[in-house]
């Protein structure tokens, strides 16, 4: 693949695949509403275009981490219902109200600030409540459930939803899943008639007991693996090609990259890519003589990274392509695509697909394909 002259890498986002993934998950959720988590720039795919495609597919409930992200969704999808996962930022209630954003309230301080604003304006502005069932991240403590219930009942206020978050849903047999499910059930007895939400992507695939009235898929929408040890059923959404800038010969015993951690065991042909950890190709994808690293695809063949990943460059051994199949400078190397997906890269780098996707902020152009039935404009 030849890349456009003068450009760096080319990131392609398949909005049609994104829409198909949402529709497939919506079928899995059955009686529950299916939201869409679009935080972190829609997992690196672009929050504006991703939100439009998801809305065209049928999504109406969106989850972002921050109010800034929520405002980006509001601009893209004016009729969206938008929840802010990180809750109510102190002093920002007027912004949430003006933008019609729903904070997911997780502390008594947040609750009191939100209720005070509702009383000041004599209107029950919508929000959701988050209870911590074992993550020890955001959320009311379980022993605050009665206090929260009594406080809102005294004012006649009801949240739009009560939620919690699973710590180990990517391991369906983990005992903590059932423990959290039971604890969440005990919380919900304090809020009868209020919709509940517990399942992220992995929780959706763990079992229908976790679905309640709303599910919140994230990583699965973007083609990432949600559950460890299972074949990933989701369509890939992202492909990435980066340019080869030089092909060179190197001799047995010579070393490659910083630290001289990889010495060549044979005469080799190397391709130098214009791509590095500044572009989201993690330094943990480096290789040495004692540890394999990442891989890329060149002319249809998987080729190994050798030496340390630099800020701007990666070295790849292309010897196995043969002497009659030497790529030219300007040709593209496939970092993500059909042969090597997000999770393949993550496994090689000792991380998770989430980090790979959200690291795709490098020096490359974005190309959106397959509109997912986007409306005009």
- Of 23, 26, 375, 50, which Cα lies nearest the Cα of 237? 50
The whole-angstrom separation of Cα 269 and Cα 250 is: 6
Task: For residue 39, indicate whether it is catalytic.
Answer: yes
Residue 317 neighbours by CB distance under 10 Å: 22
CA nearest 217: which of 234, 197, 239, 202?
A: 202
User: Which candidate in 27, 43, 231, 258 is catalytic?
Assistant: 258
Residue 364 known to be catalytic: no
Q: CB-based burial of residue 245 (10 Å sphere; 0-12 exposed, 13-18 middle, 19+ buried)?
A: middle
Length of the chain: 377
* Strand bridging mode 101-105 / 128-130: parallel
Q: How far is CA 207 from the centre of its chain?
A: 21
Alpha carbons 162 and 160: distance in angstroms, whole number? 7
* Alpha-carbon dihedral angle through residues 307, 279, 39, 24, given to the nearest 10 degrees: -70
Catalytic residue from among 27, 39, 277, 308: 39
The residues carrying an active-site annotation are 39, 258
């Amino acid at each position: 693949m030849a890349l456009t002259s003068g450009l760096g890498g080319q990131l392609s986002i398949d909005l049609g695949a994104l829409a198909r993934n949402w529709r497939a998950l919506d079928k899995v959720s059955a009686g529950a509403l299916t939201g869409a988590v679009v935080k972190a720039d829609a997992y690196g795919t672009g929050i504006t275009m991703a939100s439009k495609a998801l809305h065209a597919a049928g999504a109406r409930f969106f989850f972002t981490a921050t109010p800034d992200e929520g405002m980006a969704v509001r601009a893209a999808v004016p009729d969206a219902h938008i929840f802010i996962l990180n809750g109510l930022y102190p002093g920002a209630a007027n912004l949430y109200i003006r933008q019609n954003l729903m904070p997911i309230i997780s502390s008594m301080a947040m609750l009191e600030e939100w209720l005070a604003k509702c009383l000041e304006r004599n209107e029950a502005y919508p929000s959701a409540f988050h209870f911590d069932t074992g993550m020890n991240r955001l959320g009311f403590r379980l022993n605050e459930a009665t206090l929260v219930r009594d406080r809102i009942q005294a004012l006649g206020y009801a949240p739009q939803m009560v939620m919690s978050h699973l710590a180990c849903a990517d391991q369906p047999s983990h005992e903590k899943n059932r423990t959290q499910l039971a604890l969440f059930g005990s919380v919900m007895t304090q809020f009868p008639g209020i919709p509940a939400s517990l399942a992220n992507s992995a929780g959706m695939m763990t079992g229908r007991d976790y679905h309640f009235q709303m599910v919140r898929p994230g990583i699965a929408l973007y083609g990432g693996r949600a559950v460890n040890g299972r074949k990933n059923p989701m369509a890939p959404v992202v492909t990435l090609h980066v340019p080869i800038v030089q092909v060179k010969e190197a001799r047995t015993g010579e070393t490659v990259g910083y630290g001289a951690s990889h010495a060549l065991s044979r005469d080799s042909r190397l391709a130098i890519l214009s791509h590095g950890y500044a572009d989201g190709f993690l330094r943990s994808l480096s290789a040495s003589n004692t540890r394999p690293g990442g891989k890329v695809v060149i002319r249809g063949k998987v080729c190994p990274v050798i030496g340390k990943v630099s800020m701007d460059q990666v070295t790849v051994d292309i010897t196995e392509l043969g002497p009659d199949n030497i790529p030219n400078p300007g040709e593209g190397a496939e970092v993500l695509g059909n042969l090597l997906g997000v999770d393949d890269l993550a496994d090689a780098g000792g991380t998770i697909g989430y980090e790979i996707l959200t690291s795709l902020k490098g020096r490359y152009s974005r190309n959106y394909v397959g509109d997912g039935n986007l409306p005009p404009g």
